Structure 1
Amino acid sequence: MQMVILSSTSSIFKPKIALTLLLFTLSAAPSAADTATCTAIHQLNSSISVCSYVKSNAGCHPKGYINYLQLFYCNFASFPQLGFILLLTWLVTLFYVLSNTASDYFCPAVEHLSNSLNLSPAIAGTTLLPLGNGSTDVFSSIIAFTSTADGGDIGLNSVLGGSIFISTVVVGVLSLLVAYRRKIVVIDKPNFIRDVVFLLVTLTNVLVIIMIGEISLLASVGFVSTYIVYILVVCYMHFVTTKKHKTVIDSVNDGAIRVPLLCSIDIDEENVVHPAEKGVLYEEEVVPLRKKRCIINFVCYVVKLPVYLPRRVTIPVVTKERWSKPFLVISMVLAPIMVALVWNTQEGNLGLKASLVTYFVVGSIGIVLGSCTYVFTSSVMPPQRCLVFWYASGFLMSVIWTYVTCNELVSLLESLGNIIGMNPAIIGLTILAWGNSIGDLAANVALAMYGGPDGPQIAMSGCYAGPLFNVLIGLGFSFVFVSWSSYPALYVIPEDPDLCETIGFLMVGLLWALVILTKREMRLDQTLGGGLLVIYLCFLFIKLSRAIGLLS
């Protein structure tokens, strides 16, 4: 379902990058530019000197809670292979926490909140619900832009990399699976053309911004406002479609034609196995199987407990399936404290006295909320009143956890880039983009294959509406934040010629889908899927070949 920033000093940082690369080729001694980028670690020979450099250089201190470079070069200096394995394991864990938080906490909160606010499907589908699917990309982009020196490059590449992955690989896999199963799937033409055209226009605007090399606060706000125009168009088309369907239904009813609500179901009595007979036949096999499942479930529960429990006791959940009054009371007590803790650790501006006062105030608020929750909620069923408050609380805490996880994920990816000597832009374009998009691939494929007659249509809509949301909201709000911090000066876009290449491949994939689908009467087939996969493989080959030096 695939969960990143420059400060106002970005205008003076870019020449330092070029100067640093030049000095790398001329001298092995760390320079002033090296201390800002932490790239001199590969010039030092002894592990002791590398450890001292990592500890003393401010550029090697990430924005996350864990100093991964110090952990790798100091604590695991004698066992680098073990340290690298642990970092990769933690990377997988962070991706799991990011996707699991979105699926188990964020998306349900968004869905229930939209229902409580009585939002129509058209409005909810273009505002709250896409935020659930694209939250990881949006937060990754925003955190990257605001937290790291190379964040603008990572943020742009992660969003664009995720967009090209979804619009080529995901759509290509969907088309090939549909063709393999010999299903005839026809995509709604007006909605498809609307989403592709908006995405092409948005990418053109991004290309213009990159070519200009800077953006103002007003232009950033205008870029984000494009999504409002998209919502208005969606609402208008939804209104027109609903009106046409209503007219058709009224004409059918006037003609005294009735359609049954449920289709008849034929049951083959010869293939029916009654419960008693099934128990007699399979009782001996079922009991050992249940024991094995219990053991596996227990092991999985123990493994997931360290990452499950902190979120469970801080994110309020009031759904019927996961209702637990003790957890709700504890979460209402700890949620304000966690918000204050994240704010204090990220900002770092509060002194000791101010921190104590803050924690005392939010602790008192948490105790009051927990006491009220204990008194006014039932032990057997979730609350039925003030649902907007409960869902909004779960939504807010899910956002906090997504923010913290993305912050740590970006910090880890930046450290891994320094360790293996890979350009952070390539990391954002591959690892971060894949991690944020794997969930979209699994969800859309499952929806297209097993989601009923409307499943493929919904999945295809998500493959284009999702990237549009990520680009306009993820990059848009990132531009707004960094241009606001640079105001009245303009925010300087990181110079990366490969960004234009990425946008070019993304546009080629969109145009290929637009041409092939319209010529083939909007049917998914091998030509569409194979062509999109070839486009992505060519794009990936060029990027990786340039990263490892095969191409200049």
Structure 2
Amino acid sequence: CWEVRKRNSSEWCRFIQSNPDCRLEGGFLDYLQGVFCVFPPRLLPLAVTLYALWLLYLFIILGVTAEKFFCPNLSAISTNLKLSHNVAVLSLTSPLHGVTFLAFGNGAPDVFSAVVAFSDPRTAGLAIGAVFGAGVFVTTVVAGGIALVKPFTAASRPFLRDVIFYMVAVFLTFMVLYFGRITLGEALGYLGLYIFYVSTVVLCTWIHRWQRREGLVPPSPWEPEMPTDAEEQESLGTNSGDYSEEYRPLLPSRETSLRILTTALSPLDYRKWRRKPWYWRLFKVFKVPVELLLLLTVPVVDPDKDDLNWKRPLNCLHILTSPLLCVLTLKSGTYGLYQIQGVFPVWGLVTLVGFVLAVIIFITTSNEEPPKYHCVFAFLGFLASAMWINAAATELVNILRTLGIIFQLSNTVLGLTLLAWGNSIGDTFSDLTMARQGYPRMAFSACFGGIIFNILVGVGLGCLLQMTSSQVVKLEPDSLLVWILAGALGLSLVFSFVSVPAQCFQLGKAYGVCLILYYLAFLCLALLTEFRVIRLSAV
């Protein structure tokens, strides 16, 4: 499909429509058809600009969905199943690293993007570039930024454990790329290695706590306890509904269902709006449409609130909208539009069943007290938010492939730049904010724990799902840039593995500057190789 730009502009549309390689897999919009057939050639810069803005908005959708809907429901599921936070991979308060709620939540967009990209052999390079590119970015720029913001002493054994596991994962991926294929056993091996990693983290945590109780190890450098949402709101003088005392009514009153619905569907807090700077307000304006759609379709269960975030009219509406969203986004609506016996569509049946259940729940519950089965809404919200992330990731992969065809760029360079940077925004801001608040060890641990999840689950699950159509998945590197990327990631891990113990695990600004300079040098080498300014001998 790359040949389209080499042809006369009058032939672009005919070439796109007749070439099977130009057909995008999944997604709701045909971006290639739009840029080469809908827009005239002279308006190509306008089309590219619109696509770039839509790309940025897709990253916003991914971030908002993961942060405000996917992660809270995952936490609620863990609480309802009475799982240990370490076992559920959701610990925020423990400084024992790696496998954290922060890493798991931020990894959701990365994993879904990788799974979608691996589903089509033509975009597998995009997934490889994103997984390796995000790894280099997080372990250099983000980790280095943490050391610059707040010099600290790293936890020795957890750091060495995480780096060793990550080096093993990178080596396995390097071997898969060398042989150019991945089998069923190897894909399951990725997932098995992640399970082994989680088990190791849990075991190390138990051993460390036992040693501290027995007084066998000295106390670790102190970090302030991470406040919970309830404690943070209490310190701000607000209750779980974010109403301060002066706004609370003197006498208790029952709100009507209509008022509960309108309040729950409002993505704006007007008191918070007045306190925030202009740039926060501008960004919030862009997020409001996304948040409103998510509030309409994704229920959120909050165990920290007294009412568990039970909003009877809205939750009853979710019984209708969430299943409808799932069937209309699964395989880009293929199953939802399927007609039963050629007469009745699946989405109509889902709507009918959802409406009946919503009416029953509305009649048998009250506004004041959540029902005993309210935990089911956490599973429904988890599924609905996952479908949102999957749909956004599909559009993201398709639009990146389109931009690659327009600018004649390889999937690998798009993955290690745009996709890796976009998916790492959450890690960057979350980890640096956590470091500034006095939790640099926890933030540094998230850098390695999160990317281990991304590479093992992203590659393993992505290839496993692709094997539904073939027994072996081909992962042949499309250029020398793949080897440069893999080598750069491996070298950065070796550098940290050697330099951090050499500094007695005391990480300061010199370490942070070295990591950031390393990433800039790698990025220059990668871009010069992509544009063939630097020609390296073939491997």
Common topology (TM > 0.5):
yes
**Residue number among 445, 448, 471 corresponding to 1:461 in the alignment:** 445
| Equivalent pair of 2:69/2:381 in contact (CA under 8 Å) | yes
- Aligned position for 1:406: 393
**Residue number among 100, 105, 112 corresponding to 1:139 in the alignment:** 112
**C-alpha deviations, 1:440-489, integer Å up to 9, x for none?**
01000001111x3xx111111110011111111001111222234312xx
- Aligned position for 1:65: 28
CA distance in 2, matches of 1:444, 1:114: 23
CA distance in 1, matches of 2:365, 2:282: 33
Write out aligned runs for 1:449-528 (5 A). 449-450=436-437, 452=438, 455-487=439-471, 490-496=472-478, 497-528=480-511
- Aligned position for 1:335: 322
Q: Secondary structure at the match of 1:62?
A: coil
| Equivalent pair of 2:332/2:391 in contact (CA under 8 Å) | no
Shift of 1:318: 3.2
Q: Secondary structure at the match of 1:123?
A: coil
CA distance in 1, matches of 2:522, 2:280: 41
**C-alpha deviations, 1:46-70, integer Å up to 9, x for none?**
3x42123333434333232111222
Write out aligned runs for 1:137-536 (5 A). 137-146=110-119, 148-179=120-151, 185-248=152-215, 303-319=286-302, 320=305, 324-343=311-330, 345=332, 347=334, 351-353=338-340, 356-380=344-368, 383=370, 385-450=372-437, 452=438, 455-487=439-471, 490-496=472-478, 497-536=480-519
Where does the alignment leave 5 or more consecutive residues of structure 2 unmatched? 90-98, 220-224, 226-270
CA distance in 1, matches of 2:183, 2:272: 63
What letter matches 2:416 in structure 1? L
Q: What is the aligned-residue RMSD (CA, Å)?
A: 3.0
Against the structure 1 CA distance between its residues 327 and 349, is the aligned structure 2 distance closer, same or farther, given a 3 Å change threshold? Answer: closer
Q: Identity, % of aligned pairs? A: 29
Higher mean C-alpha deviation, range 237-246 or range 305-314: 305-314
- Aligned position for 1:55: 17
- Aligned position for 2:52: 88
**C-alpha deviations, 1:353-403, integer Å up to 9, x for none?**
45734223322331133224323444356x263343121111111100000
Shift of 1:81: 2.5
CA distance in 2, matches of 1:434, 1:211: 26
Q: TM-score, normalised by structure 1?
A: 0.78
| Equivalent pair of 1:172/1:528 in contact (CA under 8 Å) | yes
Shift of 1:408: 0.6
- Aligned position for 2:230: none
Higher mean C-alpha deviation, range 291-300 or range 459-468: 291-300
- Aligned position for 2:252: none
CA distance in 2, matches of 1:298, 1:370: 35
Against the structure 1 CA distance between its residues 293 and 172, is the aligned structure 2 distance closer, same or farther, given a 3 Å change threshold? Answer: closer
Write out aligned runs for 1:91-102 (5 A). 91-102=55-66
Bigger radius of gyration, 1 or 2? 1
Higher mean C-alpha deviation, range 88-97 or range 333-342: 333-342
- Aligned position for 1:5: none
Q: TM-score, normalised by structure 2?
A: 0.80
**C-alpha deviations, 1:487-546, integer Å up to 9, x for none?**
2xx322223443332222112211222222212221111222122112211211111001
Which protein has the bigger helix share?
Answer: 1
- Aligned position for 1:540: 523
Question: How many pairs are equivalent?
Answer: 468
Q: Secondary structure at the match of 1:121?
A: coil
CA distance in 1, matches of 2:527, 2:56: 22
Against the structure 1 CA distance between its residues 301 and 130, is the aligned structure 2 distance closer, same or farther, given a 3 Å change threshold? Answer: closer
**C-alpha deviations, 1:46-102, integer Å up to 9, x for none?**
3x4212333343433323211122222333314222222211111111010011110
| Equivalent pair of 2:112/2:393 in contact (CA under 8 Å) | yes
Q: Secondary structure at the match of 2:372?
A: coil
| Equivalent pair of 1:328/1:373 in contact (CA under 8 Å) | no
CA distance in 2, matches of 1:485, 1:165: 33
Q: Secondary structure at the match of 1:334?
A: helix
CA distance in 1, matches of 2:281, 2:206: 50
- Aligned position for 2:4: 41
